[in-house]
Chains A and B, each alone.
Chain A
Amino acid sequence: MERRVFGVETEFGITHQGGEHRGLPPDELARYIFRPVLKWGRSSNVFIPNASRLYLDVGSHPEYATAECDDLLDLIASDRAGELIMHDLAQRAEAAMAEDGFDGSVYLLKNNVDSQGNSYGSHENYMIPRTTHFRRLSTILLPFLVTRQILVGAGRLVPATDETPAHYAFSQRADHMWEGISSATTRSRPIINTRDEPHADAALHRRLHVIVGDSNMSETTSLLRYGATDLVLRMVESGVPVGDFELENPIGAIRHISHDISGTATVKVRNGPEMTAVDIQSGLLDRARRFVRENGAHHDQVEQIFELWERTLQAVASGDHSSIERDIDWAIKKRLLTDVAERGGLRQGHPKLEQLDMAYHDVHPRRGVFNVLAAHGRVSTQLEPERIERAIVDPPSTTRAALRGRFLSTARALGAEHTVDWVHHKLVDRPLDALMLKDPLLAEDPRLDTLLAKLGDRVETLREQNLAQRREQAVPLALSERYTLASPREFAEPPLI
């Protein structure tokens, strides 16, 4: 596959704290957060002008699903835009609540576990060809995903239990996985979910749904996460030999690896030896490098991804994490917790450290601890802030998302009732003209222009708003109107002769 469609769905944790009284419970808080969304789209499940989806999930989790991206940096930009969109909604909720007499602060956390161990996810989607052999896919991909946490885990301070003392683990999500592959989600959280909803031509494509990942704050960690996974998928698809790392017990292994920050935990490979996560990842990295040597790099970040991949494995293997503590979420957070613990003489598992573990994921630009680190130049970045801000309003330009964005923004500007989802585009008054776009890689389609032309010449009268104009609109930036109707006077005046 030359181009692949990627997407990531992030569920956020929410909490209301710091007021004189106890904070609002999550369901009431979520209603405040989604108030502007409901007003804008008469639903708490909407596609927004940047073609992403914004909705309220089970358990009062605000969720943001990026639009289809075919470029890793577009994907990371769209995901980061999701954080800013959530922050905007949180600020508005806080103001609205204050008006109603509820003081305190609204927190939106891009993490994966609350203080009682309830978990919520960060789901990756990768388009793969329908012809991909599923047994081969799971044989190669499962051991990769089980061990990937040592590269891209978000890190977690695990509270003490009766059996184990408080300790630092690679992953937030590892303890919440119950199966290798299945079609369930909440009931038995599998690493790979086989629910077959391609949102595309089912004869050609599958949507691989990976729910084992931690939500990442670091753009660099994100690049490694999606980039390495894409490379492994390429090898799966090409049919090259990728070694045999199939694990005897993937679920036992994922937990075992997560809780051993020394990286020395071994897991049993089926019909093979005991191996560490570093052994398995090194084997996959070697093969990926060989694959790229033979087939060429398919995008500009491949070498950077290899370098990060190797450097992180070396750091884990040596136990000296200083070379990755600007780049890899679990190592950035671990450094911070160590600094704070040393300065304050705090024992492992001190509430202050648990609070920091959560606050690291706070999306607030000035309060979120990751963002404070970034402001002090202590973490690496991949994107200019301007690109992230553009991603709040602009759909990715190289996929179907561009068409969805144009359709919904045009229909809104012209006051035409419409419905839209990943595939369908429908004008309510013209049900027979509903348009299905089944190729997520196609960013142009004359049928969409034909459909919009049915709304009349008025399409010609639309004026696209620039970013400054959109910021001036009263609604959250992400919900601002992309087009306005030109004032009639612009047409009434004859050209000067």
Chain B
Amino acid sequence: MSTQPQKRPHGGDEDGGPAAEATPVSGSAQAQKRAGELDSMLDEIDSVLESNAEEFVKGFVQKGGE
């Protein structure tokens, strides 16, 4: 049985390069970076969703299962 430790990057997965280590990042800069990462992820999600949300929701109708 192989168990994998849970990955908990918790904002710690900076680009890892030596440059990133050399310059200490202040708290607010880090928060800004996190907000930026969140923003770009939400943009990505936006771009993959069907553009007409209401139509998508209404269009998803099925009879019950089991």
Contacts and interface: CB of A to CB of B under 8 A. Distances in A.
Contacts of B45: 340, 356, 359, 369, 372
B8 A58 contact: no
A216 to B, nearest CB: 16
A13 B60 contact: yes
A39 interface: no
B63 A15 contact: no
B4 interface: yes
A73 B65 contact: no
Contacts of A123: 66
Interface string B1-36: 111101111000100000000000000000000000
A424 B2 CA distance: 32
Nearest to B55: A17
Nearest to A26: B62
A211 B66 contact: yes
B64 A59 contact: yes
A371 to B, nearest CB: 10
Nearest to A189: B66
B44 A372 contact: yes
A286 to B, nearest CB: 24
Interface residues on A, range: 35 or more
A209 B63 CA distance: 22
Contact of A339 (B42, B58, B59): B42
Interface stretch (A43-51, A373-381, A459-467): A373-381
Contact of B64 (A15, A71, A118): A118
A60 B64 CA distance: 9
Contacts of B57: 115, 351, 354-355, 358
A280 B4 CA distance: 31
A22 B59 CA distance: 9
A84 interface: no
A326 B66 CA distance: 31
23 contacts: A11-B65, A13-B62, A15-B59, A17-B50, A18-B50, A26-B63, A58-B63, A58-B65, A59-B62, A109-B60, A119-B64, A123-B66, A186-B65, A300-B3, A351-B57, A352-B53, A355-B53, A369-B45, A369-B48, A376-B37, A381-B6, A382-B4, A383-B4
A57 interface: yes
B60 A114 contact: yes
Main secondary structure of the interface of B (DSSP, over half): loop
Contacts of B54: 351
A300 B1 contact: yes
Interface in A346-363: 350-352, 354-356, 358-359
A41 B23 CA distance: 61
B41 A372 contact: yes
A376 B64 contact: no
A419 interface: no
A15 B60 contact: yes
B46 to A, nearest CB: 9
Contacts of A383: 4
Interface in A88-138: 105, 107, 109, 114-116, 118-121, 123
A11 B65 CA distance: 7
B53 A120 contact: no
Q: Which 5 A-B pairs have the closest CB atoms?
A: A120-B65, A59-B63, A355-B53, A351-B54, A351-B53
Nearest to B60: A15
Given A11-B65, A376-B37, A387 B48 contact: no
A105 B37 CA distance: 28
A358 B3 CA distance: 30
A174 to B, nearest CB: 15
A61 interface: yes
Interface in A456-495: none
Contacts of B53: 350-352, 354-355
Interface in A400-435: none
A73 B3 contact: yes
A185 interface: yes
Interface in A50-64: 57-61, 63
A107 B49 CA distance: 11
A372 to B, nearest CB: 6
A377 B49 contact: no
Contacts of A71: 1
Contact of B1 (A13, A63, A73, A185): A73
A271 B60 CA distance: 44
Given A60-B63, A71-B1, 17 more contacts: A15-B62, A57-B65, A57-B66, A58-B66, A109-B60, A115-B58, A118-B64, A186-B64, A220-B6, A354-B57, A355-B50, A355-B53, A376-B37, A377-B7, A380-B7, A382-B6, A387-B2
Contacts of B59: 15, 17, 22-23, 115
B20 to A, nearest CB: 16
